[in-house]
Chains A and B, each alone.
Chain A
C-alpha cells in the first residue's frame, strides 16, 4: 500500500505524540499512583452497616491522626447520609482543615449515584454492592458543593451537600 510522503510524516508525528502521551498517563498511573478510583471492596447494599465504616455512628467526618481524616457516607435516593450532629439533626455540611489528607468512603443502599465534590478531582461512581473510595489532600480553602452526578431518579438534582475547607 502506498503512503504519501507527507502522510508518512504526519502519521509518524501523530503516533509519536500519542506514544509520549500514553507513557505520561502510564507513568502517572503506575508510578505515581494516580489511577482513578477502582475500589474492589464489596458490601451488601441491603445491610451496609455490616461494614463498620457505614454504621450510623461512624458516618461523617472522623479525625484519625494529625491532619488525617476519614469521611464515611451512605448514599440513597435522594440523600447523602453524613451522620447527625449533637442534636440528632442530619449533617449536610462538613468542615475540613486546609492541607488535611482525607479518605472519602461511600456506598449506596439503593440505586447508582455519583459523588462529586464540584471543582475537585473527587469524582466517583457509587454503585450498589461496592464501596467507592478516594484519598485526597484538600489544599484550597472555600466552600465546595457535593453533587450527585449520576441520574438516580426524580430527585436527582436535589441530592447535594457542602464541604468547607478552612484555614
Chain B
C-alpha cells in the first residue's frame, strides 16, 4: 500500500519548482513507467505526488535559435505527429513510431522516457546521436535557475541520472541538422509493436562524397545506460562507406558492447544483432 500524503498539480513552473524544493516529491508525468513500477513495488511513492502535466510551457515543440526544443511533457504521439520534428529530427519521429502502442504513446512523455533512464528507452538512442541536451530547472534560493548538459553524459545507471532531487527536467534540445546530415534508428523487438527493445541502434553523421563525418553511433539495451560507441565511430569517421569499412565497423560494434543475458535475449544474440543490423543500416546509408 502506498503512502501518498499530498497530491499537487501546479500550473506554473515556478510553483512546481517550489514544491520540489520542499523535498520528498514523486514527479508524475504520463505515469506509464511510474504506475507499473510502484505497483510492482520496485519504487515507492514519496509523501507528495506532483503531477506536472498542467505546468504551462512544459509541453510542445518550438525553435529556440539553432535548436529545436521539445518540452518535457510533450507526449510521444505529439512528437510523432509534429511537423518540426518530422523535418528537423525525422529519426526521433521514427523511434516514436516504434514506441509501445497508441494508448501508451498518448500518455507517455519524452521527459518521462528520459527521466526513467531505462537503457532500452526508445527516444534515448536517437536523441544521443542527434547530440541532444537536457535542460534542468530548479529554485534553490527563491529564484529559478536552469542548467544544460549533453544527454550522452546524463545517465549514470539504470533509472539513474545526474538530475538533483530539486530539479525538474523541463526540455530536451536538439541542434538543427547540418546539410548532408543523415540519421538512422533501428529497434529490435521480438514483435513489431508493443515491445521493449532487445537492442537498439542509432547512427548519425554528415554524408559527403560517400563518407561519413561527425559520426555518432549509440546503442540501447546493451549496457546499464544507453551508450555511445566510440570505437565503432572511430572505425567509420571520415572513411569511405565501402564493404570493408562497413564490416570493420560492424565488428567493432559487436566487440565493444557488453550486454547481459535476460528473459528477452542472451548476450550472444544481442551481440550478433548489433553486428548484423549495424551492417544493414550502414549498407542502407551507403546506398541512399
Chains A and B bind each other: no
Residues of A within 8 A of B (CB): none
